A and B are shown apart, each in its own frame.
Chain A
């Protein structure tokens, strides 16, 4: 009964380093998305995907890349980390197609610090 799994839970990077935040879901959900949440703020949409091979930008896509080669996985890549990317990152998924109003299922987040 894993749901949405995010790894790692915590990460510290130096400015300019790259890394990939992993997200996997075992519910066969077509839709997946990434959010960032800064202290005291709501969640902001970074990228989303409506199915394997299809991705699109959200509200704050700059500095982040995504790909969706399988239904289960939706990794988020930081190519050159900046202190402004210090945040908590959440991955979410939900069924797509006819279940467009279905709620999102969230992972427990990755806390990223860029020094």
Chain B
């Protein structure tokens, strides 16, 4: 199972761009990279998913270098409502994607 490593916490001022990097050195060929966001007292919710290069949606961008050993979630112009925990997950293709496990995530605090 590909393990992920991401910073425990980050602070950012409102209006800034925030980049959260996740390393996954043992990612398998068929694995996708998925990011979730969790607000206090809520379940995680899907933000973005990618396999290689760059993916962008209305919420965030995901940058994946050619070797795929890391990925960077980019949140443009954060607001106070972006304060949350962000989880990076790498699918376990060897296990049929059945055991979906989470790390401790990155706690982002947006400061006014």
Contacts and interface: CB of A to CB of B under 8 A. Distances in A.
Interface in B15-35: 32, 34
Given A35-B102, A42-B104, A103-B49, A109 B97 contact: no
Contacts of B46: 103-105
B54 interface: no
Interface size class of A (residues with CB under 8 A): 20 to 34
A100 B102 CA distance: 16
Interface size range of chain B in the complex: 20 to 34
B112 interface: no
A108 B42 CA distance: 5
Nearest to B96: A100
B34 A106 contact: no
Interface of B: 32, 34, 36, 41-46, 49, 87, 91, 93, 96-105
